């Protein structure tokens, strides 16, 4: 199975919308191993509501916590400890799985393990979602540098939100990674907008 892990340069950068677009484009399954926060909907519920193809399956989370916080904090408040050994890739007949991370690459799952350790365990390729804000160049370069240090394969960068050519130019020059596409900041994301953007990513 091809496993594509969607991480971001931080939180709230557009990972869930990007994951929905990728799942639609590749007719892939979707899985969010660790969900923190249930309101207004979980990421899995959002993706399920946006995908229109009849092939993609949204798999249940390995861990789901009410607290909208870092996984290691949310799990403590729930009286649990996240264990990598309990995060097992769901069984499916689909040839591709889109896996959405929680926050960024170095978000802690427990006292020892980070999101990056989960990516290594799953033997996944990575797509980095980049949203431009003050500090986003630094966050992007640090994320890409850590992925390279860990020898994690990166498919490229997926841009999200309002464009910033100056920031994008220096990021692509410094990382040498390819641009996979750009999902703009829309007033509303619905099934139609997901289908529209999916056409960019059918050949990843």
Within a domain: 141: yes
Residues 6 or more apart in contact with residue 105 via CB below 8 angstroms:
7, 114, 115, 116, 119, 143, 146, 147
Question: Does residue 32 carry a catalytic annotation?
Answer: yes
Phi-psi region of 135 (alpha: psi -120 to 50; beta: other; left: phi over 0): left
The reported pLDDT for the residue numbered 65 is 97
110 exposed, middle or buried (CB, 10 Å; 0-12, 13-18, 19+)? middle
Identify the domain containing residue 150 by its residue range: 2-198
| List of the chain residues with pLDDT < 50 | none
The reply to whether 179 falls in a domain is yes
Q: Beta partners for 97?
A: 3, 29
Q: Is residue 204 part of a domain?
A: no
pTM of the model: 0.97
Number of structural domains in the chain: 1
Sign of dihedral through CA atoms 75, 111, 175, 203? negative
In a domain, 167, yes or no: yes
- Predicted confidence at residue 203, as pLDDT, reads 86
CATH number of the domain enclosing 109: 3.40.50.300
* 3, 32, 179, 191: the active-site residue: 32
Average pLDDT value over all residues in the chain: 97
- Identify the pLDDT of residue 68: 95
Look at residue 183 and tell me if it is in a domain: yes
Residue 203 in any domain: the answer is no
How many angstroms separate the Cα of 30 from the Cα of each of 63, 65, 95, 96, 177? 15, 18, 12, 9, 24
């Amino acid at each position: 199975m091809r496993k594509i892990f969607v991480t971001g340069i931080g939180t709230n950068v557009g990972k869930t919308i990007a994951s929905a677009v990728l799942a639609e484009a590749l007719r892939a399954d979707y899985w969010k191993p660790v969900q923190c926060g249930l309101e207004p909907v979980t990421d899995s519920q959002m993706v399920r509501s946006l995908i229109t193809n009849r092939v993609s399956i949204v798999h249940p989370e390995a861990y789901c916590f009410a607290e909208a916080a870092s996984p290691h904090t949310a799990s403590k408040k729930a009286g649990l400890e996240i264990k990598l050994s309990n995060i097992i890739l769901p069984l499916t007949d689909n040839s591709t799985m889109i896996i959405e991370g929680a926050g960024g690459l170095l978000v802690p799952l427990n006292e020892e393990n980070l999101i990056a350790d989960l990516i290594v365990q799953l033997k996944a390729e990575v797509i980095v979602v980049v949203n431009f804000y003050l500090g986003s160049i630094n966050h992007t370069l640090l994320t890409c540098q850590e992925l390279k240090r860990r020898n994690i394969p990166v498919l490229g960068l997926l841009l999200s939100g309002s464009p910033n050519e100056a920031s994008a130019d220096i990021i692509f020059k410094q990382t040498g990674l390819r641009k996979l596409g750009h999902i703009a900041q829309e007033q509303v994301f619905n099934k139609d907008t997901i289908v529209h953007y999916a056409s960019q990513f059918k050949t990843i």
